[in-house]
Amino acid sequence: MNSRLLFVAAAAALVWSLASWAQAPYAPAAPTAPTAPTAPAGPTAPTAPAAATAPPPSVPMPAVPSHPCTKPQFPGKSAPPAQITAFNNDVVAYNACIRKYVDDTKALATAAQAAGNSAVDEFNKFAAEIRAEVEAK
């Protein structure tokens, strides 16, 4: 029970620190003069872990261009058969172009989704490792 409480408290502190970090604008620290190291007076408690790394900036998603397909112009009902045949061929080509565009766009979306899922899996694995370490103590 105590280890769960410790884990929840650590997670809450991390979330709180990240939230406060996101609200405060970044200001570089003023350079300080180096100081001589001091020897500890006696046994010391374990030091706190290093501060959590800042989250990376949001990754901009690539712009998805509009399709390059050209819509054929309907020649009308009274057009000669040669124009109707040409129009039908253009419709088939337009359909193929749109289908290729849709397939390529789906592949891009699938790749982006897989990358996001991979990132979530990586974080879940990390959280499980931390949870196991906390529960082991």
Angle at 4 between CA 13 and CA 128, to 5 degrees: 85
- Scan for tokens 């604008």, then name that residue: 25
| pTM over cut 0.85 | no
pLDDT tens by residue, the chain, 137 residues: 444 434 444 444 444 443 443 444 444 444 455 555 555 555 555 555 555 678 778 878 788 899 999 999 999 999 999 999 999 999 999 999 999 999 999 999 999 999 999 999 999 999 999 999 999 87
Q: Where are the domains of the chain?
A: 67-137
Virtual torsion, Cα 27, 28, 33, 39, nearest 10 deg? 90
